[in-house]
Amino acid sequence: MKAGTLSFKETFFIGLMLFAIFFGAGNLIFPLSLGQAAGTELIPAIVGFLMTGVGLPLLGVVAIGMSKNEDVQSISAKVHPVFGLIFPVVIYLTIGPLFAVPRTGTVSYEIGISPFLSEGLKASSWSMLIYSIVYFTVTYLLALNPGKIVDTIGKVLTPVLLIILAFLLAINIISPLGEISSPLAAYENAPFFKGFQEGYLTMDTIGSFIFGLIVINAIRSKGVDSTRQIAKICTTAGLIAAAGLALVYVGLAYSGATSVQALGHLENGGQIISRISNLQFGVSGSLILSVAIIFACLTTSIGLVVACASFFHKLRPSIAYKHYVLGLTLVSALISNVGLTQIISFSIPVLVAIYPMVIMLIVLTLFGSLLRNRNAVYTWSVLLTGIVSVVEGLSAAGFELSISDVFARYLPLYSLGMGWVLPALVGCVIGFVVSMRQAPYALEKE
């Protein structure tokens, strides 16, 4: 092995680490729901889902690897200093106390606890309340000082969960619960674009800004300092992680698609996987899966709380880290009690609004070497993208806006949730022209 590089074995293990970081137990639920809803339109739907659930997170990690250790704040600040402050806060709130952290609590409850309760307890809100108090108390205590216990849980439980999943998916492929049914109305037309937007729900593209830095630090700890080598290793490790995620997602989507005849259409993926595992494994197998998922969700919850608390403490150091941890866990516990289906429903308008801007930041960062001193490209492309995506988000939230009708009439792909694409391209052109007038020689090589 050359100095300043890593062997394939070392890179492979970094790829496995990245896979484990991306693969939170909450990610189990969305391919299953997609499979049930897409039915015979599964192939184009899952291809769209893989683009945003796997492809874009991979590009996010590669972009961070190529960006000379920039984080989401420094990248966002290229749009505008105010945007560089507000947008990272929105990002951390989204993957933290508003959606992702509460979701770990509700997913672990739906899969790990609810199947073993009586119908009366399931219908009662007290069972979820008591569980959330216990779950987020543990999250709070371990987030104060994660230490080795969280790493140990993650290293042990992630392989256990994957082994159980591998058995479950193999059984579902060899002996499916039924035939693939007809698609629901949402997937009858343009299933690819519907799947593309469903991939937003994983939030992994947003998380790639944070996870990419974790990978870079792991690479640097092994003595690699060259930006080119870091980018190369990030790409290889990212491809390894992406391949693993894609295999799991495809297997889960197929399992969901073949489960409708046996289960009917269920509210969320948590209910689907618990019912499938009970039918295929029996009570004992479901119990093992439940324990693994509870601890996997707990590990994700702790990691996200630590990341969010560290970010906000850095932003406002006058408030103690432990107070941020307390506030984040309290808010997460409260929101988790609204239920998994409601959390997913509430998150959709926010993700529709911010995801296109995240995508543009990743794309622009990938071409960062060509955009030195041309922040106008960032400004105009993200501005025009954001105008359309925020309107789409408000429409998804149920607000009737007259500008939405204008966009629907004149913007290509708007009815498919992709109306931001043309404005993003136009913004890049405008920004480039503006930057040429400001600094015509900015593209000269160093």
- Interval 398-432: pLDDT, tens: 998 899 999 999 999 998 889 999 999 999 999 98
Tokens of 75: 């990248």
Q: Cα separations (Å) of 183 from 18, 42, 197, 256, 260?
A: 33, 8, 17, 12, 10
pLDDT confidence bin for 445, thresholds 50/70/90:
very low
pLDDT confidence bin for 354, thresholds 50/70/90:
very high
Q: What is the pLDDT of residue 148?
A: 61
Tell me what the mean pLDDT of segment 32-47 comes to.
96
Look at 159 and 351; give whichever has higher pLDDT.
Answer: 351
Tell me what the mean pLDDT of segment 26-40 comes to.
92
Tokens of 74: 């420094």
Residues contacting residue 242 through CB under 8 Å, at least 6 positions apart: 54, 55, 57, 58
Other beta carbons within 10 angstroms of residue 340's beta carbon come to 26
Q: What pTM value is reported for the model?
A: 0.88
All domains of the chain in start order, with CATH? 8-346 (1.20.1740.10), 367-446 (no CATH)
54-63, 116-125, 181-190: least confidently modelled range: 116-125
Average pLDDT, the chain: 88
Cα–Cα distance, 68 to 75 (Å, whole number) = 11
The alpha carbon of residue 181 and the mean position of all alpha carbons in its chain are separated, in whole angstroms, by 28
Q: What is the pLDDT of residue 446?
A: 41
Q: What is the pLDDT of residue 318?
A: 95
Look at 148 and 115; give whichever has higher pLDDT.
Answer: 115
Look at 328 and 275; give whichever has higher pLDDT.
Answer: 328
Q: What is the pLDDT of residue 145?
A: 81
Q: What is the pLDDT of residue 443?
A: 45
pLDDT tens-digit map of 211-253 = 888 888 888 888 887 878 888 888 898 899 999 999 999 999 9
Question: What angle, rounded to 10 degrees, do the helices at 8-22 and 227-257 form?
Answer: 50
Whether the Cβ atoms of residue 349 and residue 389 lie closer than 8 Å to each other: no
Structural Rg of the chain based on CA atoms: 22
Residue in 173, 148, 145, 116 with CA at minimum distance from that of residue 291: 116
pLDDT(25) > 70: no
pLDDT(118) > 90: no
Cα–Cα distance, 408 to 396 (Å, whole number) = 13
Q: Burial, 14: exposed, middle or buried (Cβ in 10 Å; 0-12, 13-18, 19+)?
A: buried
Q: What is the pLDDT of residue 444?
A: 46
Helices (H), 175-203: 191-198
Q: What is the pLDDT of residue 27?
A: 83
Q: What is the pLDDT of residue 4?
A: 63
Q: What is the pLDDT of residue 442?
A: 46
> Exposed e or buried b for every residue in 231-270, given b needs 16+ CB within 10 A?
bbbbbbbbbbbbebbbebbbbbbbbbbbbbeebeebebbb
Whether the Cβ atoms of residue 196 and residue 48 lie closer than 8 Å to each other: yes
Percent of the chain with pLDDT over 90: 53
Q: Burial, 58: exposed, middle or buried (Cβ in 10 Å; 0-12, 13-18, 19+)?
A: buried
pLDDT(338) > 80: yes
pLDDT tens-digit map of 69-103 = 678 889 999 999 999 999 999 999 999 999 999 99
Count the residues in the chain.
446
The residue type found at 98 is L
